[in-house]
Structure formats: C-alpha cells, structure tokens
Amino acid sequence: MKIGIVCYPTFGGSGVVATELGMALSNRGHEIHFITYKQPVRLALLGSNIHFHEVHVPKYPLFHYQPYELALSSKLVDMVKLYGIELLHVHYAIPHAYAGYMAKQMLEEEGIYIPMVTTLHGTDITLVGNHPFYKPAVTFSINKSDIVTSVSESLKADTLRLFDIKNDIEVIPNFIDAHAYKTQFTDCQRGMMAKEGERIITHVSNFRKVKRIQDVVQIFYRIQKEIPAKLMMVGEGPEKEKAELLCEKLGIENKVMFLGNSNEIDRILCFSDLFLLPSETESFGLAALEAMVNRTPVVSSNTGGIPEVNRQGVTGFLSEVGNVDEMAENALKILKEDASLEKFKQQARKESEKFDVNNIVPLYEAIYEKAFKHA
C-alpha cells in the first residue's frame, strides 16, 4: 500500500509512534510518505520505500497566525496526486484530522477517493481537543474519519465521554520493537553515570505540567535519603527550570543530571534501574513501555491508560496522582534488594514483549483494509 502519514515530527509520543509505525510498515513492503513540517526526529533513514515531504508555511505579515492547516491540506492533495498515495493515516486529531478531511474533500472534487484513518493519542482529546474553542472542529473531524483508533481503552472511554462521537473507536495499543533491544547494548557504560552501588533512576518526558516534574524530584528526594542513588532527567520543556530550582532547594543538585533531549533514550534506559512516571494524565505512557523493554521497572501514577501498560506488583507499582510518599516507598521496595530489582527487571521486560511491533503493526494493516472497504 502507499500510505501518507501525518504527524508531529517532534519528541512527543504521538510523533514517535507514527514514525516507528511508518518505518515498520516500510519494512513490511509498504510505501510510506511522511507529510509534516520537519523530518521526524526518529526517522533515521529515507529510502525508496520511505519518503518525507515538508510542509512549508510561507510567512505573510497580515497573518497573526500562519495557516498551517491550509498548507498541510494543500500539500496532502499534491502528494496524493503526485505519488498515488492510497490512504492517509493522521496521528493526533488537531489539526491533522481536520486538514486530512479537507484534503479528502478537495480530492473528491477531482474524482479521487482516499480513506483516512485517525489515531487519537491523548492530549488531543483530554487536554487540548476538549477545549470549547476546538471541540466542534475536533468532533467533526473525528466523525468524518473513515476509521478512528485510540492507543488505549482508557483514551477510548475518555473520547466517548467528552465528545459526541458517531463512529466506532478501535483500540490499538502503542508498540516497541522488542527484538531490537535484545542484544543491542551489552555494555551500558553505567560507570560513566554512577558509582558502584548507586541506583540509577530515570525520567523521560517533554517536561510539561501534565508530567508533574516536581513529583519526580520529590520522589527521588525521598529515595536518596534511604539508598545511594542518582536521577537522570531526560527531555526539555517548560517545567525544567522549576525542577532545577527545586533540586537546588532540596540540596540534591549534585545527584540529579539534566540531560536534555536525546535520540539515545535506549542507551540511558539500558543502565537505569527504575523509571518514574507520576503524570497527572497519560493516555498510554509510551515512555514507560520503552523503559520496560529495556528491563527498567516503573513507578507511576494510576491515571488514564498507564494501568494498561504498567502492571501493579509485576512491572512496577502504581499510586494515586500526587502521592509521592507512596511512590517513593514503592520505589524502595523495588530498589533496596538486588534480588527484587532483578525480579522486577525481568518481569518488566517480559510484559513489554506483549506490545512487540510484530503483534501490533498487523492490527493497523487490518484497519487499513477495513478503511478501503469503508471509503
């Protein structure tokens, strides 16, 4: 199939999933066209089966806001015609489903019918899309999609609760390539980051409010009072500075490393002993799954789709949002003894294999077949 993928090209989970999906589909013989404003960060290799088309938005002084949807829908029309793209798969409803639907309509005027699959990722529903200023357009574009998927049962329930949705929503969980990690890094160079006997705790995110970065620091503060430990903070975002200040205030700045955005998350997770994800809301928690595949157990909040990924007492522990005392106690349960740490590491890895690319990508292929019948 020739598939056009629309996504955010940044470090956010939806862009990562869309990029990994495109790469997996191209390995399975499909021709993939990424259409977005920048080459997706995880997209390493372009080739005969995998293309990137940049959406340019010319700046014009009259416009206070430059019209990205207009440029995107025009680019979609052009690329569908030029490359014979047969299906559009848009990730994140805003504004991608809206622009995709406009492109579909323009193409229909020329006698070209193209199905559109929309994948909902989380904040497009729970935070941004739900805002009254966007809601009618988001509802409309979800209802106009040929097939709608969501990345967890929890997100599906949220969507049905918050919007007046007329079509079915199919749940297809996010995925990882478990086999890519099996033999990848035998020497994790742990010694570069921590001393012998120190536990390494990691958090990876876009440092937005929803991630409750201050909770990450507070949990670590409690852990390091009990055992020798270091905290790796990976990512960039608006809450980073506050977190740095809190570390100074608590006097733990020499135990916390802020590593910025990284394309080598797996190298960092390779030497991590525990992953912290205390988010306010999380439709899935791809970062937790990426930790688990790298044998890193997870201490998290029990919100949204996280319980579908992090299993209580198996891959880690879950607590109510904001309960940093319990999260720290749970972390210590895992970290204190080598034997319990090893047990959780093995269980985290085993559970992650359920989300292997080879189990999940065929579900998308089946959806595409269905979308053709629907269109």
State the residues that interact with ligand GMT by CB under 6 A. 12-15, 17, 92, 121-123, 126, 151, 174, 206, 208, 210, 281-286
Tokens of 165: 């949705």
Least Å distance, CB 34 to ligand GMT, is 15
Closer residue to ligand GMT in complex, CB, 307/336: 307
Closer residue to ligand GMT in complex, CB, 102/204: 204
Least Å distance, CB 18 to ligand GMT, is 9
Closer residue to ligand GMT in complex, CB, 138/335: 138
Least Å distance, CB 7 to ligand GMT, is 9
Cβ–Cβ < 8 Å for 117, 87? yes
Closer residue to ligand GMT in complex, CB, 121/203: 121
Closer residue to ligand GMT in complex, CB, 125/229: 125
Q: Quick one: CA dihedral 300, 302, 306, 309, positive or negative?
A: positive
Least Å distance, CB 299 to ligand GMT, is 16
Which residues partner with 234 through β-bridges? 204, 260
Least Å distance, CB 61 to ligand GMT, is 31
Least Å distance, CB 141 to ligand GMT, is 16
Least Å distance, CB 210 to ligand GMT, is 5
Chain centre distance of CA 372: 27
Among 228, 231, 220, 232, CA closest to 197: 228
Least Å distance, CB 264 to ligand GMT, is 19
Sequence-separated (6 or more) residues with CB below 8 Å from residue 219: 276, 278, 299, 324, 327, 328, 331
Closer residue to ligand GMT in complex, CB, 139/174: 174
Sequence-separated (6 or more) residues with CB below 8 Å from residue 76: 4, 6, 35, 88, 99, 100, 103
Q: What angle do CA 251, 253, 258 make, to 5 degrees?
A: 155
The residue type of 336 is K
Write out the DSSP string of 289-341.
Answer: HHHHHTT--EEEE--TTGGGTS-BTTTEEEE-TT-HHHHHHHHHHHHSSHHHH
For residues 104 and 86, give the distance between their C-alpha atoms in angstroms, rounded to a whole number: 11
What is the dihedral angle through the alpha carbons of 137, 140, 143, 144, rounded to the nearest 10 degrees?
A: -100
Q: Is the peptide bond before 95 cis (omega within 30 degrees of 0)?
A: yes
Q: Environment class of residue 165 by beta-carbon count within 10 Å: exposed (0-12), middle (13-18) or buried (19+)?
A: middle
Closer residue to ligand GMT in complex, CB, 112/137: 137
Closer residue to ligand GMT in complex, CB, 138/286: 286
